[in-house]
Amino acid sequence: MSHTLYQEGAPHDANVSSTGKIMRLVIYALVPAIIAHFYFFGWGIVFNLLFCLISSLVTEGIILKLRGHSLNRLWRDSSAALTAVILAIALPPLTPWYLTIIGCVFAIAIVKHAFGGLGHNIFNPAMGGFVFLLISAPLPMTEYIEAVPNNYLNVTAPRAISIIFNINKEQNLYNAYNDAYKHVITRDDADTFMANFDAITGATFLIDAKHEQPKNNVYSFIKVRMMDLSNYTFFAHLVISSLFLLGGIALIVFKVIDFRIPLSFLLTVIIIASICYEIAPNTYLPTLYHLTFGATFFGAFFILTDPVTAVPKPIGAVIFGIIAGIIFMLIRNFGGYPDAVAFSVLLTNACAPLISILTKRREFGAKSHPGDIYER
Average pLDDT value for residue range 217-246: 76
- The Cα–Cα gap between 194 and 182 comes to 11
CA atoms within a 13 Å half-sphere pointing along the CA-CB vector of 90: 32
Average pLDDT value for residue range 273-285: 92
- The Cα–Cα gap between 272 and 291 comes to 12
pLDDT at 211: 64
- The Cα–Cα gap between 139 and 146 comes to 16
pLDDT at 189: 38
- The Cα–Cα gap between 304 and 341 comes to 9
**Higher-pLDDT residue of 262, 120:** 262
User: Is the pLDDT assigned to residue 195 strictly greater than 50?
Assistant: no
Instruction: Encode 63-78: b = buried (16+ Cβ within 10 Å), e = exposed.
Output: bbeeeeeeeebbeebb
| Share of the chain residues as helix, strand and coil, in percent rounded to the nearest 5 | 65, 0, 35
Q: Which long-range contacts (CB under 8 A, 24 or more apart) does 245-252 make?
A: 245/297, 245/301, 246/32, 247/29, 247/30, 247/32, 247/33, 247/301, 247/302, 248/29, 248/297, 248/300, 248/301, 248/302, 250/29, 251/25, 251/26, 251/29, 251/301, 251/305
pLDDT at 75: 73
Check: CB of residue 265 under 8 Å from CB of residue 304: yes
Check: CB of residue 40 under 8 Å from CB of residue 240: yes
Which residues fall within 8 angstroms of residue 278, CB to CB, at 6 or more apart?
none
Nearest to 285 by CA among 198, 217, 336: 217
Q: Based on the number of CB atoms within 10 Å of its own CB, is 9 exposed (0-12), middle (13-18) or buried (19 or more)?
A: middle
Highest mean pLDDT (candidates 12-16, 62-66, 164-168, 200-204)? 62-66
Q: Based on the number of CB atoms within 10 Å of its own CB, is 191 exposed (0-12), middle (13-18) or buried (19 or more)?
A: exposed
Query: What are the tens digits of pLDDT across the range 94-139?
Result: 999 999 999 999 999 999 999 988 888 999 999 999 999 999 999 8
Indicate the residue type of 209. A
Query: What are the tens digits of pLDDT across the range 169-192?
Result: 677 666 666 666 555 444 443 443
pLDDT at 12: 45
Query: What are the tens digits of pLDDT across the range 347-369?
Result: 999 999 999 988 876 554 555 55
- The Cα–Cα gap between 341 and 328 comes to 6
CA atoms within a 13 Å half-sphere pointing along the CA-CB vector of 250: 16
Q: Based on the number of CB atoms within 10 Å of its own CB, is 338 exposed (0-12), middle (13-18) or buried (19 or more)?
A: buried
User: Is the pLDDT assigned to residue 295 strictly greater than 60?
Assistant: yes
Check: CB of residue 362 under 8 Å from CB of residue 368: yes
pLDDT at 373: 46
